[in-house]
Amino acid sequence: MEKARTFIIGDIHGCLDMLKRLMDKIDWRPEKDMLIFLGDYIDRGPNSKGVVDYILELRGSSSHAECLMGNHEAMFLDYLSDRETGLFLVNGGGQTILSYQKEMPEGQSFFLPPDHIAFFNSLKPFIELENYYVVHAGLRPGLEIDKQSVEDMIWIRGAFIDSDFPFKKRVIFGHTPFPEPVVMDNKIGLDTGAVYGNKLTCLELPEMRFHFVKASGS
């Protein structure tokens, strides 16, 4: 019997076509394999609503699909609560609003479907696997996992990226885009700039195999 695998997908940012092509490529078995999304499903790209719809379909077909909170989802929740509305809009939030408005009856004000509201409120700050911590942005060096703040988990950059601190488990993260996956002794970075015309990356465990699809036209 084949062993269960874990697939971890980097930042999508509304790039629904790339996500679908990547899912077609990885041969995920919903009844057996774990599927983890690192967050930043929305903003900047052309179809944030479509990405959420698609991920909801995947979660509906499997109890093994998990979704992390990204900083863009946190900004969206703040926007919906009338907190820090400008921060969301200047970070690509306008494209998210447009993707929802396209499917609304003319003259109807912006709103989120109830299942989308539930989705954004269900996102996890991190997931712990046998040999890995999986988190959107990273961890604060020197702190145990139970002492980490959600703020750091979804926003941290330099203090984590530049550190060779030996966390108890290797950290798999997104958030900070690189041309290729970052592989270091203490961390693995999977944001490869899909929305910037580069590629969307998935890490398959335990084989440590990378799968990716390029942006159309690149």
* pLDDT at position 218 over 60: no
> DSSP class of residue 162?
T
Of 26-35, 55-64, 104-113, the range with the lowest mean pLDDT is: 104-113
Structural domain includes residue 197:
yes
Structural domain includes residue 125:
yes
Structural domain includes residue 92:
yes
Arithmetic mean of pLDDT, 34-47: 98
Q: Residue 160: count other Cβ atoms within 10 Å of its Cβ.
A: 25
Structural domain includes residue 89:
yes
Closest CA to 5 of 212, 202, 214, 213: 202
> How far apart, in whole angstroms, are the C-alpha atoms of residue 170 and residue 194?
24
pLDDT band at 156; cut points 50, 70, 90: very high
> How far apart, in whole angstroms, are the C-alpha atoms of residue 218 and residue 216?
6
Structural domain includes residue 203:
yes
CATH of the domain at 170: 3.60.21.10
CA within 13 Å, CB half, 211? 20
| DSSP string for residues in 51-101 | HHHHHHHHHHT-TTEEEBPPHHHHHHHHHHTTSSHHHHIIIIIHHHHHHHH
Structural domain includes residue 1:
no
> What's the pTM value of the predicted model, to 2 decimals?
0.95
Closest CA to 148 of 163, 137, 158, 162: 137
In this prediction, residue 107 carries a pLDDT of 62
- Structural domain including 115 reads 6-214
Number of domains making up the chain: 1
In this prediction, residue 104 carries a pLDDT of 67
In this prediction, residue 109 carries a pLDDT of 65
Structural domain includes residue 70:
yes
Structural domain includes residue 207:
yes
Which tops the pLDDT comparison, 196 or 110? 196
| Angle (deg, nearest 10), helices 114-122 and 48-60 | 80
- pLDDT tens across 67-117, in order? 999 999 999 999 999 887 889 999 999 999 999 988 766 666 677 899 999
